Amino acid sequence: MDPAPIKETIPFDVLDRVDIRVGTIARVEDLPHSKKLVRLIVDLGNERRRILAGIKGERADPTELEGRQALFVVNLEPRPMAGEVSEGMLFDLGYADGITPGLAVPETAMPDGTRAG
């Protein structure tokens, strides 16, 4: 499979406005009324957030992610999804390319809340 084309060039300040941080997935909770979404309770160091992620069909047991660190976009507007509000976005790899997604994770353990970039 060839990689997708690179998106159009953007000004650096646009990227600088995106706040991506390390967080630890403290809990994964099923949303029984959704076929795709689970609720992640994410520790960002100074707060915990509820982040909804469409990973239900990607893993036999999404709770295996509990205790794992990953990258999260934390400055998106809260977004209503499946009757709940998501307070960020899991930053994963592969979904947009139609391959089984994987978490974007730090190489070594980092303090929760550490910024990417």
Q: What is the model's pLDDT at position 77?
A: 97
| pLDDT the model gives residue 30 | 95
The domain spans of the chain are 12-103
pLDDT for the residue 57: 84
Q: What is the pLDDT of residue 59?
A: 86
| pTM across the whole model | 0.91
Mean pLDDT of the chain: 94
Per the CB < 8 A criterion, the answer to whether 87 and 37 are in contact is: no
Give me the residue label for tokens 């690179």.
6
Give the model's pLDDT for residue 98: 83
Counting Cα atoms < 13 Å in the Cβ hemisphere of 68 gives 16
pLDDT > 70: percent of the chain? 100
| Torsion angles phi and psi, residue 62, rounded to 5 | -60, -20
Residue where the block lists tokens 């992610």? 65
For residues 25 and 67, give the distance between their C-alpha atoms in angstroms, rounded to a whole number.
5
Predicted local confidence at residue 75, as pLDDT = 97
Give the residue ranges of the chain where pLDDT is below 50.
none
CATH class of 12-103: mainly beta
